[in-house]
Amino acid sequence: MNIPDDIRVDLSGMKAIRKELHRYPEIGLEERRTAEMIGDHLAALGYQVHRGLAKTAVVGTLQNGGSNRAIGLRADMDGLPIREQTGLVYASQNPGKMHACGHDGHMAMLLGAAKTIAKRRRFDGIVHLIFQPAEENCGGAKMMVEEGLFDLFPCDAVFSLHNDPTLPLGQFALRDGPIMAAVDEARITLHGRGGHGAEPENTADPIVAGASIVMALQTIVSRNIQAFDPAVITVGSFHGGSASNIIPNEVEIVVGIRSFDPTTRDFIEKRITEIANFQAESFSMAASVNYERSYDATVNHTAETNFLRIQAVQFAGVEKVTDLDQPRMGSEDFTYMLQACPGCYFFIGTASTPDIRPLHHPGYDFNDDILPIGAGFWTRLTEAFLAPDKPYASGTRR
């Protein structure tokens, strides 16, 4: 892709930042070294730096001209509890932690854009660069919103991107409306009556009951939910027993749930609870269900999605911009920023070779070829949104 000459960014600088971030990953709400590095970079570029939301978040603010219109650009900061297996010279120095989702690249792109935006100053308004902790596990976006993110830094719109190694290099993918799923987890504990494996008639076997529950759970999506209403129910863990001649007292089943429609989400919770209880009762035992709701579905706003699509086409070409036919079943806590402020979440492809590792893989590494594309587009989007001669207009600032 040919990045327009007038918004070319410092590629060597971004690569150095990205590799330094990759070398020292930190997991959710522990991103202290990461936050210090980001804050120092932003301050050196002339941004006002705010620290402390959601423990380790950093927000850099730059104002130019007299307008109070404002745009927010968000990058996630946290790594994952994965032991890196890349063999890279800049591989993780923090044992058991790595940037296996590309958040190091997201931060580097936004810092690269920060430099170009500050240098050019071709905007009229306010830029808020939001570096958010704990996307992977603790809901850092929700914490930031609840602690007053948009009260302290009002935005007319907020945007975020994620790298995607399943898409061709430089391919933009977006979608109006739902783009990422809600995610929940159910822990089902079966309380049986253990005993000798040679005398099952004197027990209430929770393994057999658990197997029945696993099979029954498969009928929720296939028989209780409309075919055009996307949902996934996955039994990811089944724990019970220790030997072939021992029937255990208890079994634990852990279930992951993905959905989009709030009514469907409610129904699935109800149905999982019913199946667990009634199946357990049919085997003369009891079940307890701990159902926890995690991130809500990520839903893009129409006006902001349309605006971003126009800018992406002008930046990359129409052949490089795709509207997704279906939302993704992954989840993303950027949803809570979109619930508080209009905006759009989108993907940029990073696949340049057939064997690139998927996200969350111990051998994954961010493709640095995407750095100038992401940083250049952030610059383009900011200057278009805050253009002095063509002010962006959407709904009322929230």
For residue range 81-138, list pLDDT tens digits in order: 999 999 999 999 999 999 999 999 999 999 999 999 999 999 999 999 999 999 998 9
Given this model, what pLDDT does residue 353 score? 79
Given this model, what pLDDT does residue 356 score? 85
- Mean pLDDT for the stretch of residues 318-324: 98
pLDDT at 394 over 60: no
E strand map for the chain: 48-51, 58-64, 70-76, 125-132, 157-168, 172-174, 177-180, 182-191, 195-196, 231-239, 246-247, 250-259, 286-293, 298-300, 321-323, 343-351
pLDDT at 304 over 70: yes
Given this model, what pLDDT does residue 6 score? 65
Q: Of 78, 124, 296, 333, which is the active-site residue?
A: 78
Cα separations in angstroms, 243 against 156, 196, 197, 240: 60, 10, 9, 10
CATH architecture label of 182-293: 2-Layer Sandwich (3.30)
pLDDT tens-digit map of 350-383: 998 777 899 999 999 999 999 999 999 999 999 9
pLDDT at 183 over 50: yes
pLDDT at 398 over 60: no
- Mean pLDDT for the stretch of residues 13-35: 97
- Mean pLDDT for the stretch of residues 180-200: 98
For the chain, what are the domain ranges? Answer: 5-179+297-385, 182-293
Model-level pTM?
0.93
Cα separations in angstroms, 98 against 28, 80, 91, 122, 372: 12, 6, 8, 37, 23
Q: Of 76, 135, 164, 383, which is the active-site residue?
A: 135
135 is catalytic: yes
78 is catalytic: yes
**Looking at domain 5-179+297-385, does it have CATH number 3.40.630.10?**
yes
